[in-house]
Amino acid sequence: MRVPQRMPLRQAMPLRRQRVEFTVKIVDSRARPFSIEMNLDDTILQLKDKISMMKTRQKLKLQEMSVRLKSGEELHDHCSLRDCGMLNISHVYVHKTLPQQPRLSSAAFGPKMLKLMVVLKGGTHKIPIEVNSLNRVEELKFELEKFHKHLLPENGRYFFTYQKKGYVMSDTHAFSWYMIEDGDTIQITPQQE
């Protein structure tokens, strides 16, 4: 019986990092597409960093860049070029994005009680009234007709104007749509027959 000979252990050779070359096109720019070479283990964030360091006419900040494939699929910062399949891709497209606005808390959009002053056009008598910011303007009309009918135009035909900005207010919109604030004045304007 023959005993297989053991092969001497080879010293572990460091793996050579694979490099890939592809073309970068900055969308919405007059800049010509350019080639770039990177390691497959580099991330999309490193690619963005390399692009931002290049001398281009249109300086792009890291936060303003979105790297996409031809299909429109966005490549995420934490993914490696290998994960994105960059071996088989010859082009990537860089889009300039708007910086993200800070998110407002849900409380900023919640209902809020507003204390308003309602005045008849040309009149001096002001009616203090409290409304929910999410209620429609028609609720104000209902409230006035219920409790202050004697102050409204006799023919019953009128519309509201937001005095601060001069908007004619539609009955179907909420007060928040007009960005009405606490203490603002709404004017009652009689409609001509």
pLDDT in tens, 63-97: 778 888 877 788 888 888 888 877 767 788 888 77
Judged by average pLDDT, the poorest of 39-43, 98-102, 160-164, 172-176 is 98-102
Q: Please name the residues in contact with 57: beta carbons below 8 A apart, sequence gap of 6 or more.
A: 29, 30, 31
Q: How high is the pLDDT of residue 107?
A: 45
Q: How high is the pLDDT of residue 96?
A: 78
pLDDT surpassing 80 at residue 15: no
In a domain, 13, yes or no: no
The pTM assigned to this predicted structure is 0.43
Q: Are residues 140 and 74 in the same domain?
A: no
Q: Are residues 116 and 65 in the same domain?
A: no
Q: How high is the pLDDT of residue 153?
A: 83
Q: How confident is the model at residue 106 (pLDDT cuts 50, 70, 90)?
A: very low
- Best mean pLDDT range from 1-10, 53-62, 67-76, 90-99: 67-76
Q: Would you give the DSSP letter of residue 117? A: E
In a domain, 176, yes or no: yes
Cβ neighbour number for residue 79 with a 10 Å cutoff: 15
| Structure tokens given for 167 | 């908007």
Q: Are residues 51 and 88 in the same domain?
A: yes
Q: How high is the pLDDT of residue 5?
A: 58
DSSP bridge pairs for 174: 136
Average model confidence (pLDDT) for the chain? 79
Its domain, for residue 65, covers 19-96
Helix (H) or strand (E) holding 40: none
Q: Are residues 92 and 57 in the same domain?
A: yes
pLDDT surpassing 80 at residue 11: no
In a domain, 1, yes or no: no
> How many DSSP H helices and E strands does the chain contain?
2, 10
Strand order in the sheet with 19-26: 34-39, 19-26, 91-96, 65-68, 74-75
Q: How far apart are CA 34 and CA 21, in angstroms?
A: 10
